[in-house]
């Protein structure tokens, strides 16, 4: 946008929104060198759906093979709830993307909340919590590094011009709320069998709907439904047995 035009836009928006002022402040004072662009594009890439889905499924499979079904269920359910929350809220709020700056990343949906901020906070957050349990002496370091990563992923969406600051802030808050509730659920014994199967059946119905009317992630819901319905101790033992059969013996 031309400097004179940008100045006119600033003048017309003056006093209207703290969100607008903060967005202009960030874009006016952040350098747009190629190194910075590459760094924040990398941070944004880490929050893309394929990366998050790969993280969810890899962690879920790992916990299942290790016989930690409670963690596997919580890990998968955290991801599903986070994705659904982001998708549903975007369609309810219908907030358009900022158009005052060049978009330095591809976007395909509405602006509020930031799906990158919401989903990564919940998914990377619960994974960090489980890692903290596994490595208690390094728990603080794990939490600090995760918080730094989440900050840069969220901030990258503002830097790249595809979100307002409030989109990212609310994404962090909603994702943090989901994370808090899932940790509480995990610490109180996790998902009981009856509820697990009930959730699986609900996900199955909505997954089929999502395939017909693509307003919700149908494939993700169907995968989650299958896992929640059929993943019990026998299922875990079967996978672990298959893994041992496929692993070549040490010479």
Residues marked active site are found at 116, 163
In whole angstroms, what is the distance from residue 68 CA to residue 130 CA? 11
Which tokens belong to 235? 């299922």
Q: Which residue has the tokens 């890439």?
A: 45
Sorted by sequence, the CB contacts under 8 Å of residue 220 that are 6+ apart come out as 53, 79, 80, 83, 207
Distance from the Cα of residue 62 to its chain's centroid: 19
Sorted by sequence, the CB contacts under 8 Å of residue 32 that are 6+ apart come out as none
How many other β-carbons are positioned within 10 Å of the β-carbon of residue 185?
16
Q: Are 129 and 183 in contact (CB under 8 A)?
A: yes
Q: Which residue has the tokens 């019990």?
A: 232
């Amino acid at each position: 946008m031309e400097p004179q035009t940008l100045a006119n836009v600033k003048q017309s928006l003056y006093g209207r929104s703290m969100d607008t002022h903060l967005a202009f402040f960030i874009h006016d004072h952040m350098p747009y060198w190629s190194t910075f662009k590459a760094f924040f594009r990398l941070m944004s890439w880490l929050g893309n759906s394929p990366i998050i889905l790969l993280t969810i499924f890899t962690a879920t499979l790992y916990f299942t093979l290790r016989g930690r079904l409670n963690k596997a269920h919580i890990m998968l359910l955290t991801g599903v709830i986070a994705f659904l929350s982001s998708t549903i809220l975007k369609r309810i709020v219908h907030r358009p993307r900022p158009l005052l700056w060049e978009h330095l990343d591809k976007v395909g949906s509405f602006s509020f909340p930031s799906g990158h901020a919401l989903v990564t906070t919940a998914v990377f957050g619960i994974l960090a919590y489980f890692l903290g349990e596994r490595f208690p002496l390094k728990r603080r370091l794990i939490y600090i590094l995760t918080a730094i990563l989440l900050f840069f992923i969220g901030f990258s969406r503002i830097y790249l011009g595809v979100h307002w600051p409030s989109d990212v802030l609310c994404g962090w808050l909603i994702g943090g709320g989901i994370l808090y509730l899932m940790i509480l659920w995990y610490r109180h014994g996790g998902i009981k069998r009856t509820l697990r199967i009930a959730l699986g059946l609900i996900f199955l119905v909505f997954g089929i709907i999502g395939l017909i009317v693509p307003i919700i992630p149908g494939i993700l819901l169907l995968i989650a439904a299958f896992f929640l319905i059929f993943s019990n101790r026998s299922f875990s033992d079967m996978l672990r047995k298959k893994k041992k059969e496929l692993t070549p013996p040490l010479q």
